[in-house]
Structure 1
Amino acid sequence: MRQGGDGLVSFPLPDLSGLPGLPDVPDDVGSLKALIDREIAALRADVRRRMETSPALASSPAHASSLGGRSLETFISGGPEPGEAPGGDDGDGRPCDMPGGDPWAGLYAGLSAIPVSAALLAPVQDETGEITDFVIRAGNHVRSAEWLEAPAGQVGKRFLEARPGAAASGLLAALIAVFTSGRALRGLTVDYTEERHGRLHRAPLLYYAAACDGQMLITWVPARSRTEILTLDAQHIASMGWGHWDLLSGAVDWSEGLHRIFRTDPQMPWSLTELCDAVLPGEVPVLAELITSVLAGEEPSWTRIRFRVFGEVRTLDLLGRPVAGTDGRPWGVHLVARDLTPQMRSRRRLAETRHETERLRQQAAAEQRVASVMREALLPKHTAELAELGLTVAAAYLPAEADAAVGGDWYKCRRLPDGRVLVAIGDAVGHGLDAVARMAQQRHALAGLAQTGASAGEMTTWLNELVCSDPSAMTATMITGHIDHDHVLRWACAGHPPPLLRRGNEVAPLPSEHLGPLLGLMPGYAYETAPVPLHRGDLLLLYTDGVVERRGEDITEGITSLSRHLSGNPGLSPGETVERVIADYRRTVHDDDACLLAIQVD
């Protein structure tokens, strides 16, 4: 041990080259806590051993001269040397530590060394002996707020004169209680308010006071300095906190931010071993590596560790730093924590959203593939068989959305074994695969009924009974008919817009006096069949309501517009006619899918 030129006493730096390294990093809480306890015990034992083997300060001649012949213990305590009368004597009858015979004079002189605002008060009593105020006998030059005068400038004043806000804030009553009860005041927070020069000022102050021998010493500090407030705000905004563990004394100091992260009582910060109890089992090796590195004097980088706090998993980034003494060994551990739990929650929610989005995308893609396959199977391709019967046919499916493959709309046009041509178009209510399934059911049912040789009205009646008998089914519209060898269309209608017939330059809907209700609406209803002779060059256009329905318009306006479109393009083939309708459909706003089936008699 040596004394430097600045008067500080320091230990010589030890040679650490021969010290054994820390043991292997433990992987369970019990082993980690045992390691921490061993390291702390070893540190304390080593420090005590070095203190015991170091030469005593009292034996140092330099110290003996600087202390005026008094031992270090008596110099610090202020007590007498062995054999010396208490208080000593400077030869004139006054105690050497009590100048002027005033027993408080030593305290007066020492107030300037107190780093916080301090004052010595004497009570002022009324005729009944009640304390009504205090007199400021001494004070130092520390100001607890910019607008508050230092206590040294208020010596001789009454306390209420120097601090007029003391009565309203309850401070005066608290000081009187200290003086009368003899119990010290420890950390009373006072919201001190005072009017100065026509302006109100306020400062939260923390007061301490103790009475002795008819006088009282009070000290006070700002309850929260501006730096502390900014630090607290920074910790809150950044979700950060810090903790300091004194390995020698066992004292632990946590910031408010760290208490907020671990939801602990501000008066009960955790020790290092208690901190280990909160770590998740799988994270123990990570925390162990951090702590052992700090205890070894290293400064590891940020380490991400998960803790369980009141049943909630919190993810923290920890940065450890050893606090080393003059002997080179860390006597304290400083940890800074950054709470990443909110960010991890956001990332988890984002990942879940992405996963759900991807699942929906895959589901939509699967539906598209299924619908595409069903479209190929359900929406027929036209062959030369129809041309042999003197008919030219073109058809199209018009999705309301560009990526839709098929919906509830359908058509059918095929040659039957008896030589007739089955013509049908329909619309099952709904969208998506459910509508596709109902469409497929109705279309396949019609294909089966067509093999019986029944009329269009009979097939529609039977199909209506099928839909009505299914409790899960929804309504649908349909037109079905046959074109025979003489090119006569015999058709039935179930709530569907009637086909348009273009003959030369004239276009008109087919007569629909026999039109029946929607499929699935009225069980037992008998649909009728009506004949329509077709001439050479006639073009018959069947369509679903999606072609003629426009947002904000009546469906009759859409049918009239489609009729004008056909009459304005005479002589176009079925394929060209369908292409023109498709172009107009894509230019306007539609909310529903649509089908077109154009049949021309050659």
Structure 2
Amino acid sequence: MGQAYAAAIESLRPTVTTEPGEAGRLTVERAVGLLAGRARCRLAEAHRHLLQMGAEQGRDLIEVAGGVIRLLDGPDPGPAPVAGLSTVVPAGPVRQFAPWIATVQRVLDVAPGMASFFTVERDPAGRLADLVWAAVSPEAVAPGGLRGAQLLGRRISQQFPDVVASDRWPVYEQVLETGRPAVLGPFRHGDGLYTVRAHRLGVGLLLNWTRHDESPVGDRLAGTERLGNLGWGEWDLISDDVYWSDQLYRIYERDPRLGPLSQAESEALALPEDEPLRAAARVAFERGERVDVTLRVRVGERIKYLRTVADASRDAEGRPLRIFGIVQDVTERETSARRLAEVERELDEQRRDLAAEHELAGKLQRIILPIPDGPIELPGLKVALRYLPAGEESLVGGDWYHAAELRDGSVLLAVGDVAGHGTRAAKTMAQLRHALRALAVTTSDPAELLRHLNALTCDLERETPELAATAVVARFDPKGREIVWAQAGHPPPLLSRGGHTAPLDRPSGPMLGVIDDARYETARFDLRVGDLLLLYTDGLVEHRDRGLDDGLATVMRTVDQAVRASPRQPLGELLARLQQANPADDTCILAARPVSGETQDLRRYLSGV
């Protein structure tokens, strides 16, 4: 049986896959693991809750899972205080959650008998020093009375000090080293006769105990009580005798030698806030109804949720003669539900905050960066623009453009990208774009303009750490048809000439905001009739599922195809083809070509711009 458990658990271990259809499934699985870990609930319960959240909010499951990951993918701050629950830290090592360990726990939760999965502690020489409970079946029990989940995080040397010195310990070490399972026993331990099976599972040890000397009927009854974490009791009102099952003593953590709780002791454990529920249950019982109620009691330093189902045998007038009932400890279920509700509340707050920030950043971006419906007519140039927002709605970036005639009759073209997303990126984008427009009054030299923008970004970075941006600035002289350009850590412009597209060789220039007093070089080339110049931000060529070189090659093929398909009006054809959003980043595209006598109005080609 132990080998079957080990095989079942091993089959549930996460495996790395590169199949394209697996990304969404892995996102959901990661979210389920994080949610179960934060709420301390089973994986199945976390998965059901994730499905329920998606259905109630009308959102795709993967989108909901992404929100869970963004909220919970970080150090667990520990259990948040829950009304009515004790915040006393348990003695012993704190169990750290890991999604795979939760999967092991999920299997052991439904495993009959006593089974435990241990992580390994070794001494400086590398020998097995101790085993720590990481997952455990409900029926596992230690001599001190700790049972099931109460053992998690505890060392086997504390609960079974004799096992470290026994002949079983070297066998456990051998199983860990070789991976070959072992069967030990039968052997006598305490008042029982046991066999233990040991299997290596990952880097840990899975142990399964079988007791041979319990009666089948009593074993099944005790196993049922432990599996359901419930006990039963009777109260003979004629003789005033009260009987509790062993599991009921365990639920109340009471020494059986003290006998069942008296009515006064039982009432002293109850929480005053639950008095209305208790009163309603008493009224229902007096009417002759069966009672099914969940109440809170204080057991030691902890608050437990106990579900009680009680009924009575009555005389001819309906007076109770014997009361019998079942008490089930549902603390884990109730606290998990409350933690799930708390996580959902945090997700709702985060989603509202993100939605508000996204709306504000979007409005700011639209005000600062209006995209014209058609091409822009500039001296000697016709310029077309397209802005592609990120595929993920929550990402509003800092991509920007500039295309305007200068006072000397030349044309200034620019495209830039501020690192990050949200209102901060949008605000920085506005500052850089407006600064460029203002600086162009004093100089039209692209290198000098970038030097000033770098100084501004460095100043902003002192107020907002880790701020960085890239940009490319070009000046077009319509008389000589010459372009002088400079760049600051930006992807190279693409030049299409004679049916072939290639990136321009970049002059040197670091990113904006990285180096004080940075210097930028310029490059120049002639822009001939029939050429097409493409400035863009990195969202056009960078994608999650492909490398930068592949992305650049794809764009260059698209430019070649657009020019071949419409050699006289390539701008509209090009922008019609470059309209697929990058799911992870915004994209700004500026395409320009020299004006000739044969240039036609492109508005009908840019109706989708």
Q: Same fold (TM over 0.5)?
A: yes
**Where do residues 20-35 of structure 1 align in structure 2 (5 Å cutoff)?**
none
Offset at residue 484 of structure 1 (A): 4.3
Partner of 1:581 in structure 2? 578
Partner of 1:523 in structure 2? 516
Letter in 1 for 2:250: R
- State whether structure 2 residue 488 is matched by structure 1 residue 494: yes
Partner of 1:253 in structure 2? 243
Offset at residue 598 of structure 1 (A): 0.3
**Where do residues 327-366 of structure 1 align in structure 2 (5 Å cutoff)?**
329-366=319-356
SS in 1 for 2:257: coil
Q: How many residues align?
A: 381
User: In structure 1, what is the Cα distance between the partners aligned to 2:574 and 2:392?
Assistant: 21
Q: 1:406 to 1:280 in 2, by over 3 A?
A: same
Equivalent pair of 1:242/1:336 in contact (CA under 8 Å): yes
Equivalent pair of 2:378/2:405 in contact (CA under 8 Å): no
Q: Which runs of 5+ in 1 are unaligned?
A: 1-188, 194-201, 205-223
Partner of 1:287 in structure 2? 278
SS in 1 for 2:323: strand
From 249, 253, 265, the equivalent of 1:263 is 253
SS in 2 for 1:408: strand
Partner of 1:233 in structure 2? 223
Q: 1:240 to 1:518 in 2, by over 3 A?
A: same
Letter in 2 for 1:232: A
From 436, 445, 458, the equivalent of 1:446 is 436
- What are the superposed Cα offsets for residues 536-574 of structure 1, whole Å, 9 maximum, x if unpaired? 443221122333346697755654554444334331432
User: In structure 2, what is the Cα distance between the partners aligned to 1:548 and 1:331?
Assistant: 82
User: In structure 2, what is the Cα distance between the partners aligned to 1:547 and 1:286?
Assistant: 62
User: In structure 2, what is the Cα distance between the partners aligned to 1:297 and 1:557?
Assistant: 77
From 415, 422, 425, the equivalent of 1:425 is 415
From 305, 316, 332, the equivalent of 1:315 is 305
Q: 1:286 to 1:541 in 2, by over 3 A?
A: closer
Partner of 1:92 in structure 2? none
Equivalent pair of 2:559/2:574 in contact (CA under 8 Å): yes
**Where do residues 135-534 of structure 1 align in structure 2 (5 Å cutoff)?**
225-268=215-258, 269-291=260-282, 294=285, 296=286, 298-324=288-314, 329-382=319-372, 386-387=376-377, 389-399=379-389, 401-403=391-393, 406-416=396-406, 419-469=409-459, 470-471=461-462, 472-486=465-479, 487-512=481-506, 514-534=507-527
Q: 1:311 to 1:575 in 2, by over 3 A?
A: farther
Letter in 2 for 1:517: P
Letter in 2 for 1:505: G
Offset at residue 364 of structure 1 (A): 3.5
Moved more, 347-356 or 377-386: 377-386
From 591, 594, 598, the equivalent of 2:591 is 598
User: In structure 2, what is the Cα distance between the partners aligned to 1:374 and 1:361?
Assistant: 20
Letter in 2 for 1:345: T
User: In structure 2, what is the Cα distance between the partners aligned to 1:550 and 1:284?
Assistant: 60
Offset at residue 408 of structure 1 (A): 3.4
User: In structure 2, what is the Cα distance between the partners aligned to 1:464 and 1:203?
Assistant: 79
User: In structure 2, what is the Cα distance between the partners aligned to 1:291 and 1:460?
Assistant: 81
Partner of 1:60 in structure 2? none
Q: Which runs of 5+ in 2 are unaligned?
A: 1-189, 195-210, 596-609
User: In structure 1, what is the Cα distance between the partners aligned to 2:561 and 2:193?
Assistant: 92
Offset at residue 241 of structure 1 (A): 1.9
Equivalent pair of 2:562/2:573 in contact (CA under 8 Å): no
Equivalent pair of 1:291/1:320 in contact (CA under 8 Å): no
Equivalent pair of 1:467/1:473 in contact (CA under 8 Å): no
Letter in 2 for 1:598: A
Equivalent pair of 1:489/1:534 in contact (CA under 8 Å): yes
Equivalent pair of 1:319/1:335 in contact (CA under 8 Å): yes
**Where do residues 50-199 of structure 1 align in structure 2 (5 Å cutoff)?**
none
- What are the superposed Cα offsets for residues 19-45 of structure 1, whole Å, 9 maximum, x if unpaired? xxxxxxxxxxxxxxxxxxxxxxxxxxx
Letter in 2 for 1:577: L
Equivalent pair of 1:290/1:320 in contact (CA under 8 Å): no
- What are the superposed Cα offsets for residues 142-176 of structure 1, whole Å, 9 maximum, x if unpaired? xxxxxxxxxxxxxxxxxxxxxxxxxxxxxxxxxxx
SS in 1 for 2:361: helix
Q: 1:299 to 1:560 in 2, by over 3 A?
A: closer
From 505, 527, 536, the equivalent of 1:543 is 536
User: In structure 2, what is the Cα distance between the partners aligned to 1:426 and 1:332?
Assistant: 83
- Aligned-residue sequence identity (percent) comes to 36
Letter in 2 for 1:276: E
User: In structure 2, what is the Cα distance between the partners aligned to 1:436 and 1:520?
Assistant: 16
Letter in 2 for 1:287: R
Equivalent pair of 1:246/1:333 in contact (CA under 8 Å): yes
Offset at residue 490 of structure 1 (A): 3.0
User: In structure 2, what is the Cα distance between the partners aligned to 1:285 and 1:560?
Assistant: 72
Partner of 1:122 in structure 2? none
Offset at residue 590 of structure 1 (A): 8.0
The TM-score normalised by the length of structure 1 is 0.55
Offset at residue 480 of structure 1 (A): 1.2
User: In structure 2, what is the Cα distance between the partners aligned to 1:517 and 1:319?
Assistant: 73
User: In structure 2, what is the Cα distance between the partners aligned to 1:293 and 1:555?
Assistant: 71
Q: 1:327 to 1:488 in 2, by over 3 A?
A: closer
Higher Rg of the two aligned structures: 1
User: In structure 2, what is the Cα distance between the partners aligned to 1:560 and 1:321?
Assistant: 77
